[in-house]
């Protein structure tokens, strides 16, 4: 969030006070980003409108640049609506003027606006309103300057503030031989308002000015850096969460496979399972084999006995034969 410093003034001009000054402190000016300006005259009931106000920023006359920026703001509006807002403002001023001139008039009696409104209508002839803003007020136009469009900007004709950065850019374009003015280097920013005077007339009128200096908040940089770090951490957390979800899925899948394998093993190990059946069959075969072996062993023993008997008889026979020889 920007830091904002507001400076306001209602500048009344007369023969002793024809020049007024507003200054913005140079404190923290290195962080100054812009100054938004709202400036307009004030209509009076006695024909004392301000005339040809000039504005200097330090030693630089920025009046023409301010006028150009105000004209651009007016041009951005619907011109029919601008004219309607101007006419309504003039009607209110004229009505107040006539009631002020004739305090005995009944409040219910409508004022005769014809003559004064004719002055305003004549002022409007031939040009768009933004084209009427050739100067910041003019004593010689529209009832001694009171109906000049400058008096109704912002108060009646709705406009956005003008930017001092834009004003300085326009000023630089109009003075190519002059180095560009840097808002942060003009210390302090001193605005000098001088009321012009017509021949034989004294300075007069009132100008309202509002300056809104906007400073860059260094905390915004720290907050932005923290936001970026938080964003990085959030991305990392999301990545870890994704990896954890993937691992959980893999573990779940592996667990399912293990469970299926264990179920199969349990089934095979059950009394009706293949392993148990195979084991039982193997046991039966082994038992049968043992029986067969035992039978064969018995048979072999018997054969050995018969062989021994035969050998003995053969020995006896050999002895008989030897005797007979």
**Contact (CB, 8 A) for 181 and 58:** no
pLDDT at 297 over 70: no
Mean pLDDT of all residues belonging to the chain: 79
Residue 257: pLDDT band with limits 50, 70, 90: confident
Mean pLDDT calculated for residue range 182-199: 81
d(CA 193, CA 20): 5
pLDDT at 281 over 90: no
Residue 302: pLDDT band with limits 50, 70, 90: low
**Contact (CB, 8 A) for 10 and 223:** no
User: What residues does each domain of the chain span?
Assistant: 3-216, 217-269, 272-325
pLDDT of res. 150 = 92
pLDDT in tens, 151-175: 999 989 999 999 999 999 999 887 7
């Amino acid at each position: 969030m920007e830091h904002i410093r507001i400076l306001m003034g209602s500048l009344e001009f007369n023969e002793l006070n024809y020049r007024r000054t507003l200054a913005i402190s140079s404190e923290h000016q290195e962080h100054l980003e812009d100054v938004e300006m709202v400036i307009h005259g004030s209509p009076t009931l006695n024909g004392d409108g301000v005339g040809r106000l000039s504005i200097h920023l330090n030693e630089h006359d920025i009046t023409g640049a301010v006028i150009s920026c105000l004209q651009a703001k007016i041009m951005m509006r619907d011109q029919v609506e601008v004219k309607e807002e101007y006419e309504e403002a003039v009607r209110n001023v004229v009505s107040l003027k006539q009631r002020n001139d004739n305090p005995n008039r009944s409040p219910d009696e409508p004022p005769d606006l014809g003559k004064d409104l004719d002055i305003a209508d004549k002022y409007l002839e031939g040009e768009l309103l933004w084209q009427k803003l050739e100067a910041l007020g003019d004593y010689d136009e529209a009832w001694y300057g009171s109906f000049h469009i400058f008096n109704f900007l912002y108060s009646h004709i709705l406009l956005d503030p003008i930017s001092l950065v834009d004003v300085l850019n326009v000023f630089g374009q109009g003075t190519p031989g002059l180095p560009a003015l840097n808002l942060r280097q003009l210390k302090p920013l001193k605005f000098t308002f001088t009321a012009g005077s017509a021949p034989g007339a004294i300075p007069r009128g009132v100008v309202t000015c509002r300056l809104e200096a906007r400073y860059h908040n260094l905390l915004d940089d720290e907050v932005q850096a923290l936001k970026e770090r938080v964003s990085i951490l959030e991305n990392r957390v999301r990545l870890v969460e994704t990896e954890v979800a993937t691992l959980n899925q893999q573990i779940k899948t592996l667990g399912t496979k293990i469970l299926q394998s264990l179920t199969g093993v349990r089934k095979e190990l059950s009394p009706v399972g293949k392993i148990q059946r195979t084991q039982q069959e193997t046991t039966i075969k082994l038992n049968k084999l043992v029986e067969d072996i035992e039978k064969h062993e018995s048979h072999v023993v018997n054969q050995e006995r018969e062989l021994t008997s035969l050998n003995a008889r053969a020995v006896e026979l050999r002895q008989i034969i030897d005797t007979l020889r």
